Amino acid sequence: MTSPINKSVQDIELSCCHLKVAARRYILNESLPLKPTEKQLRVLCVHGWLDNCESFTPLMEQWNLASEVVCIDLPGHGLSQHKANSSAYHFADWMFDVQQIVTAVGWDDFILVGHSLGAMICACYAATFPEKVKACICIEGLMPLQTQASEAVTHLKHTISQRESLLQRSSRHLTKEQAVQLRLTQGELAKKHAELLCSRMLKQAGDKYRWAFDPMLYSVSPLRFTHELASQFALSISQPLLLSTD
């Protein structure tokens, strides 16, 4: 890819089921000529767990197609609002959030790009709404996390106990450098990219900072799909699908 010929960037706020969702809208290469049968691409980018829309900033710097791209902060992440009353974040609810977001943007057809958790969300959404999604790009993810049916009761008990513990958890205060170093321990990442993510992951707290994301995101989804159910979503994707493990 080469750098965009021209680029317009705007930080926006969308309404998603009584929550304010922060996002960044890019208008890229608007001056590129299109064929009579072509139209500007519309692309929704969905980041991974505890990350934010800055995950896609390096990609946007290399994007060379005429496109409108919206990169979101999922609810509870980045600059988006948290759910009320320490509510849990269920995996299936992310698809509803995406539905609300594309409705707020006003799109009826688009391409999905997702990373990690975002890739799982995009894949399940593409399978559920094939009439809306023209293509799906999944980076380091596809099927949702799974559990054996025989482990469902034990898993539910664990998540309830986990949520109770999270309610008692106090906010951690740290410096920007400490935050960057912690982010570097979570997967392979260049320091400049960890700094980019942390620029949208921190809130000022006196002379230090605290994480901006909702601590309830540490709670795993109380009900996970079995392998049979998860596989059905992957098998139901009828659109062009690109998988990347890098």
| pTM of the entire predicted model | 0.92
DSSP of 127-185:
HH-TTTEEEEEEES--SPPB--GGGHHHHHHHHHHHHHHHHTPPPP-B-HHHHHHHHHT
Going by the DSSP 8-state scheme, the letter that residue 239 receives in this structure is S
What is the dihedral angle through the alpha carbons of 187, 188, 190, 194, rounded to the nearest 10 degrees? -10
pLDDT for position 11 = 96
Helices vs strands, H then E, count in the chain: 7, 9
pLDDT tens sequence across 143-187: 998 989 999 999 999 988 988 888 887 778 999 999 999 999 987
Task: Specify the DSSP element, H or E, that contains 197.
Answer: helix 191-198
Q: Report the distance separating Cα 8 and Cα 30, nearest Å.
A: 9
Parts of the chain with a pLDDT under 50: none
Q: Which of 105, 121, 94, 38 lies closest to 70, judged by CA?
A: 105
Q: What is the largest CA-CA distance in the chain?
A: 59
From residue 181, give the alpha-carbon distance in Å to each of 16, 61, 194, 200: 32, 24, 8, 15
pLDDT for position 4 = 62
Q: How is the beta sheet containing 67-72 ordered, strand by strand?
A: 7-16, 19-28, 67-72, 41-46, 110-115, 133-139, 241-244
Contact 122, 138 (CB under 8 A): yes
pLDDT for position 17 = 76
pLDDT for position 84 = 84
